[in-house]
Amino acid sequence: MIKIQRSPKPAVLVKNTAEWTRKLLAATTKEEKNKAEGKYRHEKIKDALVNMFHGKCAFCESKIIHIDYGHIEHFKPKSLPAFRALTFEWTNLLLACAVCNGSEHKGTKFPLAANGGPFVNPCDDEPNDHFDFVYDQTAKLASVVGKTPRGTTTEKLIGLNRYDLREHRTKQVQKLLFIKSHAQTDPEAAEILRQTKLDDAEYAAFARSL
């Protein structure tokens, strides 16, 4: 996870958030609620999130757009009554992969401070304050390690060290280490290493840490 600067609110939200929210909160039937709620899937909102997160999951930093559509993730879950009014709130929307955002991981969870929450939000928090991005030379594993209660809660519940993710991420980090070993003497390797630290690079947090 890396810090992301939130882009300006899309024009479609500037124009419609208040009215869409009013209709959603006024809906009484399931059909009315589904119709009103679905407005958050507007293509202009999705496009803005894809651009802001560089096609990566806000949580695990995996590139998703080339293989999946990605999810518009409500940081504070829209299904919880306390956060229903935030369904169209731009500051509550992230881009996430289907696994991080799935019911097995984040889903509708939103732990409060008493339970180690809230989750770390890459647009509001500095992830480096809450996580270490570590490659264990002995275990040969690239792991996200929580260093605050919120970091640990985020890592555990969102599954930032789930098996398939860590296996893929480790292979990428091992490649980074090889490139790094040549960067002092090879200008091409140095340039590749520089690119791996950019916001649009997969697992940039690890590249920067290394």
pLDDT at 69: 81
Residues 26 and 66 placed together within one structural domain of the fold: yes
The structure's pTM equals 0.93
The DSSP call for residue 72 is E
End residue of a domain, out of 89, 107, 125: 107
End residue of a domain, out of 81, 107, 133: 107
CATH of residue 67 = 3.40.1800
Give a yes or no: residue 6 inside a domain. no
Single out the residue of 44, 160, 139 nearest to residue 93, CA to CA: 44
Confirm if 182 and 189 have CB atoms less than 8 A apart.
Answer: yes
Confirm if 160 and 170 have CB atoms less than 8 A apart.
Answer: no
Structural Rg of the chain based on CA atoms: 19
Give a yes or no: residue 198 inside a domain. yes
pLDDT at 151: 98
CA distance 24 to 87: 9
Residues 96 and 48 placed together within one structural domain of the fold: yes
pLDDT at 67: 83
Residues 90 and 149 placed together within one structural domain of the fold: no
pLDDT at 181: 93
Q: What is the pLDDT along the chain (210 residues), one digit of tens a residue?
A: 999 999 999 999 999 999 999 999 999 999 999 999 999 999 999 999 999 999 999 999 999 988 888 999 999 999 999 999 999 999 999 999 999 999 999 999 999 999 999 999 999 999 999 999 999 999 999 999 999 999 999 999 999 999 999 999 999 999 999 999 999 999 999 999 999 999 999 999 999 998
Residues 100 and 121 placed together within one structural domain of the fold: no
Residues 92 and 139 placed together within one structural domain of the fold: no
Residues 84 and 132 placed together within one structural domain of the fold: no
CA distance 94 to 98: 12
pLDDT at 84: 96
pLDDT digits (tens, 9 = 90+) for 51-96: 999 999 999 999 998 888 899 999 999 999 999 999 999 999 999 9
Q: 86: domain range?
A: 11-107
CA distance 37 to 126: 30
* Structural domains of the chain, count: 2
The DSSP call for residue 56 is B
Give a yes or no: residue 49 inside a domain. yes
Max alpha carbon distance in the chain (Å)? 67
Residues 70 and 134 placed together within one structural domain of the fold: no
Residues 184 and 143 placed together within one structural domain of the fold: yes
The DSSP call for residue 204 is H
